[in-house]
Amino acid sequence: MLKLALLFLVAGLVLGLLGFGGIGGAFVGIAKILFFIALALFVLFLVLALFTGKKVKDAID
């Protein structure tokens, strides 16, 4: 998902440089949304991994 966000960001910047400001801004907006979704998923999976790891460690001991 971060690759897709980076792709949209670069495309938006190139479109902005070429004079297509409206669609370039839309691409940058999509890149922001994808970045924050990826960040939220990372935090969610990090928290889940921490809780699950403790349960597995307790089950082994």
Report the alpha-carbon distance of residue 61 to residue 56 in Å, rounded.
9
**Which pLDDT score, from 0 to 100, does residue 57 have?**
62
Domain count of the fold of the chain: 1
Query: 49 Cβ partners below 8 Å, 6+ apart?
Result: none
**Which pLDDT score, from 0 to 100, does residue 59 have?**
63
**Residue 61 located in a structural domain:** no
The pTM assigned to this predicted structure is 0.76
**Residue 22 located in a structural domain:** yes
- Domain span at 16: 2-55
**Which pLDDT score, from 0 to 100, does residue 53 have?**
72
Instruction: Retrieve residue 58's tokens.
Output: 């307790």
Q: Helix or strand or coil: residue 57?
A: helix
The 10s digit of each residue's pLDDT in 8-61 is 999 999 999 999 989 999 999 999 999 999 999 999 999 988 888 766 566 665
